[in-house]
Structure 1
């Protein structure tokens, strides 16, 4: 599959992710806490991806042993941190606004990468990033002059930082994408559970009846959409796409989630965007196109190696052949 097709896969992932905030909003309004939503989301995701994860790691468990710290950070910070802070944000501010702030992550990623390697990307990427952020600012304008909840805004900014961590690790950890997703879900579930157990993150299950489209429905309906589409499917194909196109294009293509989520919020929740938000969407798309037009390096595609292959996993062992001692030569008497 070529680079363009993998970029389309990344956009499809953004579409799936865009359903998360919209469908989790009625659940949160019904009394469910963000911590409970996170545990259900990744916990069921672990069960769905358990068998595919084990099959993908057949003959490659040494990769997990070598990169276990990265896996822990990806799951505990990149996944659990992002979704918990994002769910907290959407419980206090509009879905589209929370996404606007969270998706400052691509710019944070560019800044962090530039400072780390001391080399900034091409001018076209910088111009595209500025355009995309300009679009975000326009969409951020709700058009109603309503003051935003500071806790919700703060949670969204935390989501932006940890989301940048997720994009970097998901594109660079040399573990098959499907397995990386499954392992990340497992770590995220444990971390969310521990945070809930010690009381740092409230875990509260609310009503099993929620209001959607003006009618009461079972909470299992929106939760099924969040778990199956906005979690298992979205994360799996996003990690696969990031491995083929690199973290920078993947993170900026993920910005299209904002547009999908805004449309979904308008249809499901009645949160209608204003003219400035529509203009911002067009500016955002223009910026994303500029950024992704510049190819970025990506990690070796170890998932395409045959099972049991240890290429790039470790240096081959070098056998040291002991030299046989030479027999002493005795002069003839």
Structure 2
């Protein structure tokens, strides 16, 4: 009984810290994996592929890789259909479609900044919808991360007002909120929690279906995939870049990201995810020769500071009440003595 009660209260402090450390490491790995998607996608786009076709290849390829996992967890279709549909529509198709539609109307930096307002929106969701406590550290981390992102993307160089473009970017932010909130579903359910790999596998399948209807990939220039694309003057096989986008920037990114949210919390994981824009900028500097300015370097440091502050203090999730202790003495007095 003592062992089971200890388990229900979250385990020893050392175990909690190790789990949180693992969650932070996974969140960082997810940010690195997601951040590398643009570096691999840009040469393909410059070689002649439409950006939305690259997105479709990314999601459809990842869905194909995860197909055996989907078959293994096919019971989820019956048990959690709403979760799978929501993850596919919001976390996979919604974020991609809204973001790429936004950058067709407004500068990439502005779209990125609006999209990464998602951590602030997550805080609002947790505080006012779920009515769970939010620490000052998490709130301060969000403020610093958004301010730092403004410097990283140099938002002042592309300021302009396009109502439709800004609404699309805000739609991408809302879909990203769905990613963090849905990823946290089942984190308190113990053995009944849906397996994150199954959720991701079916989310990718749903996203593929939705994006197929939007993108219509049968009009793609498939010949580009058999050639090479230039990465800062170096010719790289297109198939290698596709593998990078599918395996690292999608499969690894989603798997580590969802597991990280369950080990941390949506607000903290959201702030750490802001590092994706910093990592993408640094990788573009190293691999594509896109130089960084002084404000971008300062902004990257501010984002790092915000992520560190946010993860340093997180609210403890409410625990179920302990088992009541039987009142043996009262029972004995009411029954008239011992047997």
Contact 1:139 1:281 in 2 (8 A): yes
Q: 1:39-58 maps to which residues of 2 (within 5 A)?
A: 39-55=56-72, 57=73
Counterparts of 1:135 and 1:154, CA distance in 2: 22
Note if 1:125 corresponds to 2:142.
no
The residue aligned with 2:306 is: 287
Go from structure 1 to structure 2 and tell me whether the alpha carbon gap of 1:251 and 1:147 turns closer, same or farther (over 3 Å shift): closer
How far does residue 286 in structure 1 lie from its aligned partner after superposition?
Answer: 1.3
Cα deviation per residue 1:7-59 (whole Å; 9 max; x = unaligned)?
Answer: 1111011111110112112222333223322221121112211223433x27x
The alignment partner of 2:289 has SS state of coil
In structure 2, stretches of 5+ residues that fail to align are 1-17, 187-192, 320-339
Counterparts of 1:108 and 1:192, CA distance in 2: 25
The residue aligned with 1:318 is: none
The residue aligned with 2:94 is: 81
**What's the RMSD between the two structures over aligned residues?**
2.9
* 2:174 aligns with one of 152, 161, 164: 161
In structure 1, stretches of 5+ residues that fail to align are 301-333
The residue aligned with 2:38 is: 21
How far does residue 298 in structure 1 lie from its aligned partner after superposition?
Answer: 6.9
Note if 1:10 corresponds to 2:27.
yes
The residue aligned with 1:248 is: 267
Note if 1:190 corresponds to 2:206.
no
Counterparts of 1:214 and 1:36, CA distance in 2: 23
- How many residue pairs get aligned? The number is 292
Cα deviation per residue 1:192-219 (whole Å; 9 max; x = unaligned)?
Answer: 112234xxx9964373443222144432
* 1:205 aligns with one of 200, 221, 225: 221
Q: Which moved more, 1:29-38 or 1:260-269?
A: 29-38
* 2:50 aligns with one of 20, 24, 33: 33
Go from structure 1 to structure 2 and tell me whether the alpha carbon gap of 1:95 and 1:23 turns closer, same or farther (over 3 Å shift): farther
Q: Which moved more, 1:7-16 or 1:148-157?
A: 148-157
Counterparts of 2:71 and 2:103, CA distance in 1: 34
Counterparts of 1:75 and 1:299, CA distance in 2: 29
More helix by share: 2
TM-score, with structure 2 as normaliser: 0.76
